[in-house]
Chain A
Amino acid sequence: MRGWPLRIYVILMLAFLYAPILLLPIFAFNDAAIIAFPLAGFSTRWFEQLWSTPALHQALRNSLVIATVTALLATTLGVCAARAGAMASFPGKRAMLGFVMLPLVLPEIIVAVALLIVVRQVLDLDLSNWTVIAAHTVICMPFSIAILNGAFQNLDPSYEEAAMDLGEGRWGAFRLVTLPLVMPGIVSSLLICFIISLDDFVLAQFLTGQNPTLPVYIYGLTRFVDALPVIMALGTILVTLSITLLIIAEWFRRRGLARAGIKDSGGFL
């Protein structure tokens, strides 16, 4: 029985990570208003309740709009940054790329407070979905750049030159050669940014306008004890969605590597 301490360690770690999440579907389908064992029986009524709550639908719509726009913005900016990082050389490039990655390690609450001050005191704007989108774009960009860096770094700089040599302009070379080759990275980045935006609570809590996003709405619900099973049901849906998107994103990233014939250099999954 060689390696059994390691095996136990792995099992404990996985339990620690995922057992709380496993509670979500268990209580989401439990036919009782109180979150406690023993279980009362199977029921889908909490999901039915989700279906008939208009405020929830509004929050979901908000979140989806914000996540979609954020994903598009952050990925577009990420493409620009990653391309510059991989192909261009300019003074202060390393420092600049380092600063772009900084939001990755800044405490979110600090970023949130700082952005709130900028929006309200400096720019004197009203809080709205757009302020949330701006904040989410800031925290999504490092992820987008990290994913796209891999895609661009593996690209032979001669590809675009070859396309130009064969008669294409700069844009044509980018569109016909670079873009298809980094497309799996772009899709992966879109999905990851979408999930990050969808899951974010701290920034949205500070910067949301009249209509809360889904996590902010859920947080509001926790004040009511009898809403807990509904949150469990909602959580089950969100976790499933996140995991699905993450798997799709990773699949695209790996396909991109395979297409360019490169070895894997690490990723998110």
Chain B
Amino acid sequence: MTDIAPAPAVPARPAPAKERPTLIRLRDVHKYYGDYHALRGIDLDIREGEFFSLLGPSGCGKTTLLRTIAGFEQPSQGTLSIAGQDMKGVPANLRPTNMVFQSYAIFPHLTVAENVGFGLRRDPRSKAEKARAVAEALEMVGLGGYGNRAAHALSGGQRQRVALARALILKPKVLLLDEPLSALDKKMREQMQVELIKLQRNVGITFILVTHDQEEALVMSDRIAVMFEGSIAQMADPETLYRRPNSRQVASFIGKMNMLPAHVTAEGGRIVVDVAGLGRAEVSPEQAPGGAVTGSTIVGIRPETLGILFPGETTDRRLAPGIVDEVVYYGDMTYYDVRIEGVPEPLTISNKNFIGEPVLDVGTPTQVIWDERSLVVLSR
């Protein structure tokens, strides 16, 4: 069974933080472990107050990059600065960053309040003021009154909240989150996604999230850097990343993408693609974010930008005839795989189920509606 419950409400995304000053700057950062080249020339600017995600499969270097920012790893080459200060030789305890570890690393021999107050040991404030700060931090993450609990008796979600409170109480410039939701079950994960976004908007601190979950990155981030094999493949806001991936690798890592063989020609400054099975179409330069190389290439189309022309309907949009090859019914949606002559793989179409629309059977001849504006040229 697929979860068809509507996603919990998320507060509106504030205006893009494009004008805000850069907080973290990485230039040509490399990291070697012996012969292993873990980071291969990372250039990155993360702005103040931004929710930034490092997204990639395991082993792509995203955690190494996060640990480099935290100060647990030193770059083999290149520079890293936070708030204008070079971080070379600055240990983790002197950086304006705090981290939520994947395991949460809640100290099991201390109470919840002692955990949250751990970073205040060098704080000159009085005991009572510190206790108030701890209580406020616990309140902020929804654990008010949990201060005297033993840390090892907490549930996964509570541990994460304690880890958040423990990091945020120090008012860092940057909060680093290493796969913070991977240990939680699906329901808890979705709830915490929303809470993290709200928290980030309330405190206004820069969040850097490491995740391998593309949906999590899309939901939560202002900007996402997609990493493969130690390099950043694409860095963009979620919508651009989803609609205009700059390579086949990024396109297939984020969401489902139909890939079709195509032939690109440039005709007087216009880009024209001849897509196998669909036909000729003109695309804008933005639809070739990785650059359009003339000749044989691949174009991508997202399943939800395709449609089915049901019996009795008409459209002035472009059509391609095909035969239904596979039907997967999800309740709110139906996924059709439609075989079109000239296209090697059946096209996947996600169709929202409107009232009165039938669910087609396998083998039904049908018409696929498509739009040249949703094509994206994937030369790389």
Q: Contact mask B93-114 → A, CB, 8 Å, 1/0?
A: 1000111011101011100000
Interface-central residue, A162, A165, A180, by most chain B CB under 10 Å: A165
From B98, B102, B108, B121, give the contact of A165 (CB < 8 A). Answer: B98
Instruction: Specify the chain A residue showing the minimal Cβ separation from B123.
Output: A167
Q: Which residue of A lies closest to B151 (CB)?
A: A261
Tell me how far the C-beta of B269 lies from the nearest C-beta in chain A, rounded to whole angstroms. Answer: 53
**Is the Cβ of B93 less than 8 Å from the Cβ of A164?**
yes
A163 to B98, CA, bound (A): 10
Segment with Cβ contacts to B, from A13-21, A59-67, A97-105, A153-161: A153-161
Pairwise interchain contact A165-B109, C-beta atoms closer than 8 A: no
Contact string, A8-47, partner B, CB cutoff 8 A, digits 1/0?
0000000000000000000000000000000000000000
Nearest to A161 among chain B residues (CB) is: B72
- In whole angstroms, what is the CA distance A260 to B105 when docked? 12
Query: Is B157's CB within 8 Å of the partner chain A?
Result: no
Most buried by B among A161, A162, A168, A176: A162
The number of residues on chain A lying at the interface, defined by a beta carbon within 8 Å of a beta carbon of chain B, is 19
Q: Which residue from chain A places its CB closest to the CB of B109 in the assembled complex?
A: A180
B59 at the interface (CB under 8 A from A): no
Q: How many CB-defined contacts (below 8 Å) exist between A and B? A: 60
Q: A158-B101, A158-B103, A161-B72 are in contact. Are A166 and B166 (CB under 8 A)?
A: yes
Contact B152 A261 (CB under 8 A): yes
* Contacting pair A162 B170 (CB below 8 A): no
Q: Is B41 an interface residue (CB 8 A)?
A: no
The answer to whether B91 has its CB under 8 Å from any CB of chain A is: yes
Kindly state whether residue A249 has any CB partner on chain B within 8 Å: no
Q: Flag if A165 contacts B107 (CB, 8 Å).
A: no
Given A156-B103, A158-B101, A162-B101, are A168 and B108 neighbors across the interface (CB < 8 Å)? no
Give the residues from 156 to 213 in chain B that come closer than 8 angstroms, CB to CB, to chain A.
166-167, 170
How far apart are the CA atoms of A261 and B97 in the complex, in Å? Answer: 29
Instruction: List the A residue with the shortest CB-CB distance to B172.
Output: A165
Whether, in the assembled complex, A125 has its beta carbon less than 8 Å from a beta carbon of chain B, the answer is: no
How many whole Å from B32's CB to the nearest CB in chain A? Answer: 16
State whether the Cβ of A259 lies closer than 8 Å to any Cβ in chain B.
Answer: yes
* B122 interface contact, C-beta 8 A: yes
- The listed residue (B99, B102, B119) touching A167 by CB distance below 8 A is B119
7 CB contacts below 8 A, A to B, read A156-B103, A164-B93, A168-B121, A169-B93, A177-B109, A180-B109, A259-B109
Q: Given contacts A163-B118, A165-B97, A167-B119, list 9 more A-B pairs with CB under 8 A.
A: A158-B101, A165-B99, A166-B93, A166-B98, A168-B121, A181-B109, A259-B108, A260-B108, A261-B108
The interface of chain B, by Cβ under 8 A from chain A, is 70, 72, 91-93, 97-99, 101-103, 105, 107-109, 118-119, 121-122, 152, 166-167, 170
Chain A residues engaging chain B, CB cutoff 8 angstroms: 156, 158-159, 161-169, 176-177, 180-181, 259-261
